[in-house]
Structure 1
Amino acid sequence: MKTMKSFAVAVIALVSFTTFAQTTKKVNTTESKVEWVGKKVTGQHSGTISLAEGALVFKGKKLAGGTFTVDMTSINTTDLQGEMKGKLDGHLKSDDFFGVEKFPTANLVFKTLTNKGNDVYTVNADLTIKGKTNPISFDMKVNGSTATTKLMVDRAKYDIRYGSGSFFDNLGDKTIYDEFELDVTLNF
């Protein structure tokens, strides 16, 4: 009888450990995509940027964490071609915007997650761009081996001032809005 009780306790412990075990799933950076949209008074531009690395952490089947490194040198404008594309890509990589020579990566680290149900989580994270870290919140949907989110980033919080109405007066139609959108699809 004592052996049966010991066996039962061991099975329950194993099931509990397996059910709540933490697993880290590496993000496939070549199959994942990050698309950006930046808007100004007179229009907008869009493009892509690559992940250098990333991972999502799960407890059982529930999202529990994540860390990501973005390759800022990969900024790529997709709505322009030729000389105009080259100029905008170069300008975005310059110190006026992301200063990729000095800051070649940006980082996102999940801090807390709230399960909203239906595999949707509210993520509170720290985002570091140009050496400045600020909190950011967004919703993320997990579906099988894919996670998706859209988040808005306020560049003014990272001292990215070029064309910003938050820092300069009388810009008129030269104003570039502070918030830019990231549309993210992670495959893991």
Structure 2
Amino acid sequence: MKTLKYFSLAIFASFVMVSCAQKPQSDNAEVSEAQEVEEVSASAGTYGLDLSQSELMWNGFKPTGQHYGTIAIEDGAIAVENDEVVGGSFTVNLNEIDVQDLEGEDRDKLTGHLKSKDFFHVEQYPTAKFVITDVNSYSGTTASTEENDNMAVKVNDEEVSEYKLENPTHMVTGNLSMRDTTLSITFPAQINITNDQVTAEAKFNIDRTKWNVSYNDEGDPVRVAKDKFIYNTVNIGFDITANKGNQPQAPASEKTDG
């Protein structure tokens, strides 16, 4: 997988756990120790990410509400062989985190806090990385919620479909690196491959504290009693498009004439 480094979902970064409403009912990413990354065959085709059509979304929650936004995908590519994804990598620029539910001074304040040591600590860790290690057909099973009851809470005791991926086709496994911590995550995704393009979509929950993002976590008994904590659960979503043989394309907002 030398040609495809750093598939940053962070997603992840997604990990913007400053949030606020009860946690969403969604598929929970299975987390384990980092896995070995195998080198992709030289015969695999490379599909460069089109950044103008690719987006990573985050939702964070606490008992009184939620915050949501996006994080810019900096670069990435997907490797395909025999009409199957066999590798890939993405890098997320955590300096480009965006809060979309606030405006003005409140938006600037929250954005600054997310970049601080309490959350992403972007001065020391400016990017998050995700590298694919395995992709399999979806079998109808996902990570169990029984292992972590905190990840299984529904919004107002009802499942909210907007946080859950419909009709997944594959299970994706990869190493997520953030704040000097690398762990393997597995989550459902919907992947479509044509001769010239790959599209992929995913929605899943992740526990931010596993990557040492523990500000106001729900294990603090004082904050739990006062209902002032932030849920450990963060909902991550991404919608990406990659084109065969292309280098990652800059977003339209960054392109200039001439």
- 1:136 equivalent to 2:182? Answer no
Please say which structure displays the higher CA radius of gyration: 1
Alignment counterpart, residue 169 of structure 1, candidates 221, 243, 246:
221
* Residues 168 and 188 in structure 2, CA contact (< 8 A), matched pair in contact too: no
CA deviation digits over 1:144-171, x for unaligned, max 9?
Answer: 43111112221100111111023x2220
> Taking structure 2 as the reference length, what is the TM-score of the superposition?
0.62
Distance 2:89 2:71 in 1: 16
More strand by share: 1
Distance 1:104 1:72 in 2: 5
- 1:67 equivalent to 2:116? Answer no
Structure 1 stretches of at least 4 aligned residues deviating more than 4 Å after TM superposition: none
Alignment counterpart, residue 176 of structure 2, candidates 124, 127, 135:
127
Unaligned runs of 5+ residues in structure 1 are: 1-19
Distance 2:218 2:84 in 1: 41
CA RMSD of the aligned region, Å? 1.8
Give the letter for the 1:170 counterpart.
V
- 1:184 equivalent to 2:233? Answer no
- 1:147 equivalent to 2:200? Answer yes
- In the TM superposition, what is the alpha-carbon distance from 1:62 to its structure 2 partner? 1.1
Distance 2:189 2:72 in 1: 19
More helix by share: 1
* Residues 47 and 79 in structure 2, CA contact (< 8 A), matched pair in contact too: yes
- In the TM superposition, what is the alpha-carbon distance from 1:127 to its structure 2 partner? 0.6
The sequence identity of aligned pairs, in percent, is 35
Distance 1:116 1:132 in 2: 27
SS in 2 for 1:95: coil
* Residues 73 and 93 in structure 1, CA contact (< 8 A), matched pair in contact too: yes
> Taking structure 1 as the reference length, what is the TM-score of the superposition?
0.84
Distance 2:236 2:80 in 1: 23
Unaligned runs of 5+ residues in structure 2 are: 1-41, 140-166, 243-258
CA deviation digits over 1:29-72, x for unaligned, max 9?
Answer: 22201111000111100001011111111112111121111001
Distance 1:99 1:90 in 2: 10
- In the TM superposition, what is the alpha-carbon distance from 1:138 to its structure 2 partner? 0.7
